[in-house]
């Protein structure tokens, strides 16, 4: 987006899970970063260059909690599986 609309950064607020205090596999990068290294690199680069003034990184000890975990038995997983388009894409991402 910032390549297409360079001034958009000042209106964006990026929030991403950005690491972990006690990550379940310390030999691997955090999942979201590992799945799209190039995009993660771009985000950190534009923050460093001041094109994206603010980014909030939330560690996985906040987001990786059993009460919000989506499993194949979850109602949300079933709803996503029955969908098409973005719902199916999101469900497939959960299976990675």
Tokens found for residue 3: 């390549």
Evaluate whether 9 touches 2 at the Cβ level (below 8 Å): yes
Q: What is the 3-state secondary structure (H, E, C) of 25-38?
A: CCCCCCHHHHHCHH
The domain segmentation of the chain, as residue ranges, is: 1-64, 66-96
Supply the pTM of this predicted model: 0.55
CA separation, residue 31 to residues 27, 79, 91 (Å): 12, 23, 15
pLDDT, tens digit (0-9, with 9 covering 90-100), for 59-95: 777 777 788 888 899 999 999 999 889 998 888 888 8
More confident residue, 54 or 20: 54
Residue closest to 56 by CA, chosen among 1, 3, 4, 12: 12
């Amino acid at each position: 987006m910032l390549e297409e609309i360079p001034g958009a950064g000042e209106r964006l607020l990026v929030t991403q899970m950005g690491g972990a205090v006690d990550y379940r596999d310390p030999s691997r990068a955090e999942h979201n970063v590992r799945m799209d290294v190039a995009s993660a690199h771009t985000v950190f680069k534009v923050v460093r260059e001041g094109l994206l003034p603010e980014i909030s990184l939330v560690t996985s000890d906040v987001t990786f909690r059993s009460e919000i975990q989506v499993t194949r038995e979850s109602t949300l997983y079933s709803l996503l599986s029955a969908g098409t388009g973005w719902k199916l894409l999101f469900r497939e991402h959960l299976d990675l």
